[in-house]
Structure 1
C-alpha cells in the first residue's frame, strides 16, 4: 500500500524529493496516517466491487462501505448481502485493494458479517462504529475483539464521535473522559477516531453552508476542540483524529468571495485550474483542510471522489516542513535555531512532537522538491 501510486515514474521523480514509502498493514501509526481521504460508499451501490477496484486505481487508499446512514432501513438486509458479495468478489482479485472498512449500525452487526465473509474477511481492515460513546463503545469493542479472535484476524476499529452526550456542554467532559478510558483499554485495536460533524450539527437543527468551514460553526468547533484535547494529545495517550466530512461538490451561486488565493496558481500558470476548483467548492475544502491540520487533525472523511486528490495533495510534506523537522530532531539538547529557510525560529523542544508527526507524514505521503507546492501536486493528480 502506497500513496500516489497512480502517478507515472517521471511525474513522481519531478514532484518528490523523497517518494512515499510502502506501508505495512501491521504498522498501526503509519497505517492510521495513511488513511488520508477515506471515501464512503453506500453498500447498495451497483457494481460495488468494481467501483472499489476502480477508485483504488485512481489513488484512493481507504474506503468505508456504509451500512448505516447511507442505507434505508428497509434495504439493510440487501445492503449487508451486497457488501458480503462485494468483499468476497474482491478477495478473488489479484489487483491492489484499498484499506476497506464496514460501517455497521450496532454491535450486533459485527459477528454475522464476519461469519458470512469467512476467508474473505482477509480483505477487511476493520469496522467503523457510529454513534460511539461511553454506553455503546464497550460492546462494539468487545464484539470486535471476539470476532478477530474467532477468525484469527487483526481487525481495527474506527469509532465515530457524534452523540448528543458529547455535543451537549453539560455532559461533554464526563463523556470524553469515559471514552478516553475505554479507548485506552483497547489501544492496539483503535486505528483512528473519526468526527461525525453532520450528526453534531443535527443536534441543533443546523447545516453548515458551503461558504463556511466547520470551524465557523462554533457549537461544533467547540466539540472538536474537546475531542482533540482529550484524545489527540502528543504524550503517548492520544490517537490519530480524522476530520469531518466536506459534503459539497457542485457549482453554485456564491454569497462570499472564494477562500483560495489566486497568487499560488498564477505563479504556476494554473489560474484556470483555480477557477475549476472554486466552481466545485473545493476552495472551501482546501481551507478546512488547513484548519484541520492547525487543530491537530489528519485525514478526512469524503463522500465524493473529487475530494480525494485535494486531501492527499495537502498531506504531502513540503521541502520546507521536512528540513525544519529534520533540524529539530537533529538535537535533543533544546535551544532555538533559525530555520534553514530564514523565515522562522525552530524551538527544539516545544516543536519536537510536531517534527515527529511531520516525519511520520513524510514516510506516508512523501516529501516534495523545493519549489513544488500543493498546486503542482493537485494539478498532476487531477489531470492524471
Structure 2
C-alpha cells in the first residue's frame, strides 16, 4: 500500500522531493496508524460494498470503515450484518487491491460473530471500530477482539471511539479519560488509533457547526479535544495516534475542511474521518510534509541526542531547539514516510489538484 499510488509516476516525481513509502497491510500498528489518512465511512446497508471498496482503492483511499452502528437504523442491523458478510466475502474472492477494512460494531458479541461468519475470508478484515468507548464498557469490546483474534489466528486491531457523554461532560471527563488510558495500556498491542466522535459530543448540547466553521470554533468541542489529546495523545511513549473528527458535509466548498484538517494537525491529530471521496484530496494534501518541515526535522534529529541548545533553522525564519523539538521532528518523519515530502515549490493546492485531475 502507498499513498498517492494512483498518480502517474511522472506526476509523483514532480510533486515529491521524497515520495511516500510503501507499507504492508500487516505492518506494525504505529506505521498503519500514521498511514490511515482519510478514513472513509460507509453504512453497512450499501448493496455494492465490494464494488465500492475496489473503486475507493483506485481513488487512493487506504482505510475504510463499514458502519453497523449510528449510520444505520436499529431495525436494519440484522440485514446489514448479512450484507457486510456477503460483500466482504465477495471482495476477498476478487483480484485487486482494497483499503484496510474495519467494521464499526454496536456490541462486543458482533466481533466474534462476524469473524466466524467470514470464515476463511476473515483476512479481509483489519479490525474493528469500537463505539461509545469508556473505561466501563471498553473491556468487553477489547476482550472480544483479543479472544477472537487468538481463536482464529488472525490479528485484529481496535480503534476505540471516544464520544460518550462521560467524556464530553466536564465533571466526569478526566476520570473517564484516565480510566480509558489505563484500559488501553493493558491492550496496547491491539490498539491502532483513537478516534474522536465529535458528532456525539455536539449532540449532547444540541450543537451542529456549519460547513464554514470547524470543531475548533465550538468551545465545548475544542475543550474536549484538548483533553483527549492531553491524556491519550502524549509523545512520551504512553500515547496513541488520535485521528481527526468526521467532516460531515457534502458541499463543494471545502474551505472548512481545509481549515479543520490544518487545525487537527496543529493540535496533534493525524488522519481524519470523511464521508465522501471528494474529501480525500484535501486531507491527503495536508498530510504531506512540506520541504521546510522536513528540513527542520532533519536538522533537529541530526543532533543524535546531543544538546546543542537553539539554532536558527536552515530557512532562517525560526528557532530550532535540540531537546524541545525532538518529539515533533520524530512525528514529522513518521508522517513523511507515510505521505511523502513535497518538492520545494509544491503546495497544498498543487497536491490536491493532482489528485482530482487523475
Compute the TM-score of the two structures, normalised by the length of structure 1.
Answer: 0.91
Q: CA deviation at 1:182?
A: 0.2
The residue number in structure 1 matching 2:348 is 374
The residue number in structure 2 matching 1:2 is 2
CA distance in 2, matches of 1:183, 1:115: 25
Q: CA deviation at 1:205?
A: 1.1
Q: Deviations over 1:348-384 (max 9, x none)?
A: 1100000000000010001111111111111100111
The residue number in structure 2 matching 1:62 is 63
Q: Does 1:321 align with 2:293?
A: yes
State the SS of the aligned residue for 2:109: helix
State the SS of the aligned residue for 2:64: strand
The residue number in structure 2 matching 1:125 is 126
Matches within 5 A, 1:240-255: 240-250=241-251
Q: CA deviation at 1:27?
A: 1.8
State the SS of the aligned residue for 2:316: coil
Q: CA deviation at 1:281?
A: 2.8
CA distance in 2, matches of 1:117, 1:146: 16
Matches within 5 A, 1:69-88: 69-88=70-89
Q: Is the 1:248–1:281 Cα contact (8 Å) retained in structure 2?
A: no
The residue number in structure 1 matching 2:99 is 98
CA distance in 1, matches of 2:266, 2:38: 17
Matches within 5 A, 1:132-147: 132-147=133-148
Q: Is the 1:49–1:89 Cα contact (8 Å) retained in structure 2?
A: yes
Q: CA deviation at 1:327?
A: 0.4
* Paired residues, number: 355
CA distance in 1, matches of 2:202, 2:15: 39
Q: Is the 1:104–1:110 Cα contact (8 Å) retained in structure 2?
A: yes
The residue number in structure 2 matching 1:260 is none
The residue number in structure 2 matching 1:23 is 23
Q: CA deviation at 1:318?
A: 1.0
Q: Does 1:298 align with 2:270?
A: yes
CA distance in 2, matches of 1:307, 1:355: 27
State the SS of the aligned residue for 1:241: coil
State the SS of the aligned residue for 1:313: helix
Q: CA deviation at 1:118?
A: 0.7
The residue number in structure 2 matching 1:271 is none
Compute the TM-score of the two structures, normalised by the length of structure 2.
Answer: 0.98
The residue number in structure 1 matching 2:315 is 341
State the SS of the aligned residue for 2:243: strand
Greater than 3 Å deviation, 4+ residue runs: none
Q: Is the 2:313–2:320 Cα contact (8 Å) retained in structure 1?
A: yes
Q: CA deviation at 1:336?
A: 1.2
CA distance in 2, matches of 1:97, 1:51: 9
Q: CA deviation at 1:26?
A: 2.6
The residue number in structure 2 matching 1:257 is none
Q: CA deviation at 1:122?
A: 0.3
RMSD value over aligned CA atoms?
0.8
CA distance in 1, matches of 2:345, 2:118: 48
The residue number in structure 2 matching 1:109 is 110
The residue number in structure 1 matching 2:205 is 204
CA distance in 1, matches of 2:239, 2:30: 11
The residue number in structure 2 matching 1:354 is 328
CA distance in 2, matches of 1:378, 1:43: 29
Q: Is the 1:313–1:374 Cα contact (8 Å) retained in structure 2?
A: yes
Q: CA deviation at 1:30?
A: 1.1
Q: CA deviation at 1:94?
A: 2.0
State the SS of the aligned residue for 1:64: strand
The residue number in structure 1 matching 2:175 is 174
Q: Deviations over 1:153-200 (max 9, x none)?
A: 110000000001111100011100000000001011000000000000
CA distance in 1, matches of 2:216, 2:17: 33
Q: CA deviation at 1:329?
A: 0.0
State the SS of the aligned residue for 1:115: helix
State the SS of the aligned residue for 1:172: helix
The residue number in structure 2 matching 1:185 is 186
Q: Does 1:281 align with 2:220?
A: no
Q: Deviations over 1:235-294 (max 9, x none)?
A: 0000000010111122xxxxxxxxxxxxxxxxxxxxxxxxxxxxx231100000111111
The residue number in structure 2 matching 1:159 is 160
The residue number in structure 1 matching 2:12 is 12
CA distance in 1, matches of 2:293, 2:31: 18
Q: Does 1:39 align with 2:11?
A: no
Q: Is the 2:212–2:255 Cα contact (8 Å) retained in structure 1?
A: no
Q: CA deviation at 1:96?
A: 1.2
